[in-house]
Structure 1
Amino acid sequence: MPHPDDLAGALGGRRVLITRSADRARPLAALLGSLGAEPLLLPLIDFERAADQPVLDAALDDLVAGGFDWLVVSSITTVRVLVEKAVERGTTPAALLPAGMRVATIGPSSRRILEAVGIPVALAPVDIQSAEGLVELWTAAPARVLLPQADIAAPALRDGLAAKGADVTAVVAYHTVDYPARQELRLEAELPSAVGLSNNTAPRELTPLQTRGELDAGTLDAVVAASPSAARRIAATLLPLGRCRFIAIGRPTAAEAAALGIPVAATAQVPTPDGIVAALGTVFANEGNTR
């Protein structure tokens, strides 16, 4: 990881577009701002509650009753779902898990959030922080696994766990939609990552028209995509990027961008704000911090 002084030198004055809503972008935006960069927002994707709530509720009832050995959480958005469901039931997220239940996740961000809401994590990859990394670590077969995930989730995690002997029940926990989600269906549970961040850390939000103007003028230095679905929305709405560099949060996002014909300037080695900032720093340091 680059030294903070080196990052500040590379990122100072850089204008970085984050394609997430303000509540999800704040940790990265705050870090960028502390290093002298100007974070800007253009939310492209959002999340709505699952259409089939009875199926999700039945799976959670089975979870509470001890019907599963493992709960696998593959995104921070799934944690939002668990928090909302706990509130609906008048309990805490930790109370959804019976004694002896173990939890696995795919990286440090989701692990930190899970543990912050009172759910201990027994298994999470360190080197390869992705579905692939978790499958590589998995040795818990045979086991009954509940996998609540997005409606557009790739089958790699489900199929990888099943190939190792796990009995996987995958359920749709939420829908990924174009921003903005319908207000009555939007997932809005507050997570600990947003606690302690003042309103002053919220960056300016651009409209699509303003973003197009910035791209055409060459005044955006980088755009950050935090998921393959964000890469798809960038391809559909923002191309051509001109001199704006595409930064991927991880290998699945980079692979999706490449498949869509978007040149990837850098991929974060770890899918965290620190990892993204390090990737940005590498790109700009190599350019000599000149426009």
Structure 2
Amino acid sequence: MAGSLVGRRVLITRSADRARPLASLLSSLGAEPLVLPLIDFERATDQAALDAALDDLVAGAYDWLVISSITTLRMITEKAAQRGSTPAALIPAGTRVATIGPSSRQALEALGIPVTLAPKDNQSAEGLVALWTAKRVRVLLPQADIAAPGLREGLAAAGADVTSVIAYHTVDYPARAERRLAADLPPAVGRSTPAAPQELSPPQARRELDAGTIDAVVAASPSAARRIAATLLPLGRCRFIAIGRPTAAEATARGIPVAANAKVPTPDGIAAALGAVFANEGNTR
């Protein structure tokens, strides 16, 4: 199935730094990765509320910290640096950490933060809620301003006392330079940082789509699907690959046919979804 990716041109709708792991894998499989950033992230407007929540975290007020995205971890890394500390030092020994995806777990562990709970099969908010058994516990949940309520409500329904705070704002790319959340995270243990893939401008991406020279576009979030619907349609022969059911649902709601949904939100899972699409087409162009 990996052979079906040879020569395929795949557009990743993330910034180059966030697209590197997937782009590196696709290159190794013979594909040509391209990036077109559509969304970006800015620091939370209400820094006082965020700082107060982190002060309580450091003081041991929470039994659990739930990290639902890599971007949340970037926020914590930036906040730790501002305090002359490390992300691991912000989390007391008695506070357990839960997360959703393998990328977040790997980044947490690379920072020396052990993960107590993370879904293996359904790597989503629903998957974490399904595993949750801790009742009458205090949970800190830093999230994006546009985060769906499902995780917060699911944890609360399971018996947790959830404090939700806005960790960052999701904005159209590019974020304002003075507000952009861009703290560097270390590579996963045993992995080097791959080179940045080629980045397209929106006009370049439009010309490529019109010419039919992009084989697939990958969207990692519902907000990316919304931006694709607003800025890149029609996709022509380009196949839409979703990462996660919420992304696929958002694309479908906006009239974008979903060629495949990555079963696992990792570079390997996305490559497998791409490979399946092209293998089913007989690897013809």
TM over 0.5: yes
Q: CA RMSD in A?
A: 1.0
1:262 counterpart letter in structure 2: I
Which residue matches 1:113? 107
Which residue matches 2:275? 281
Residues 139-288 of structure 1 correspond to what in structure 2 (within 5 A)?
139-193=133-187, 196-198=192-194, 201-288=195-282
Segments ≥4 residues shifted beyond 3 Å: none
Which residue matches 1:3? none
Residues 20-39 of structure 1 correspond to what in structure 2 (within 5 A)?
20-39=14-33
* Cα deviation code 1:156-205 (max 9, x no counterpart): 0000000111100000000000000111111111112387325xx32211
Q: SS state of the match for residue 167, structure 2?
A: strand
TM-score, L = length of structure 2: 0.98
Residues 44-123 of structure 1 correspond to what in structure 2 (within 5 A)?
44-123=38-117
Is the 1:27–1:193 Cα contact (8 Å) retained in structure 2? no
Unpaired runs of 5+ residues, structure 1, are 1-5
Q: How far 1:118 moved relative to its partner?
A: 1.2
1:202 counterpart letter in structure 2: A
1:196 counterpart letter in structure 2: S
1:28 counterpart letter in structure 2: L
CA distance in 1, matches of 2:105, 2:277: 28
Which residue matches 1:133? 127
CA distance in 2, matches of 1:196, 1:124: 24
CA distance in 1, matches of 2:56, 2:117: 21
Identity of paired residues, percent?
79
CA distance in 2, matches of 1:193, 1:92: 16
Q: How far 1:259 moved relative to its partner?
A: 0.9
2:267 counterpart letter in structure 1: P
Kindly tell me the number of residue pairs found equivalent between the two proteins. 283
Q: SS state of the match for residue 248, structure 1?
A: strand
Q: How far 1:59 moved relative to its partner?
A: 0.1
CA distance in 2, matches of 1:98, 1:34: 40
CA distance in 2, matches of 1:196, 1:137: 32
2:196 counterpart letter in structure 1: A
CA distance in 1, matches of 2:123, 2:11: 24
Is the 1:248–1:254 Cα contact (8 Å) retained in structure 2? yes
CA distance in 2, matches of 1:109, 1:80: 13
Q: SS state of the match for residue 129, structure 1?
A: coil
CA distance in 1, matches of 2:147, 2:85: 28
CA distance in 1, matches of 2:52, 2:46: 10
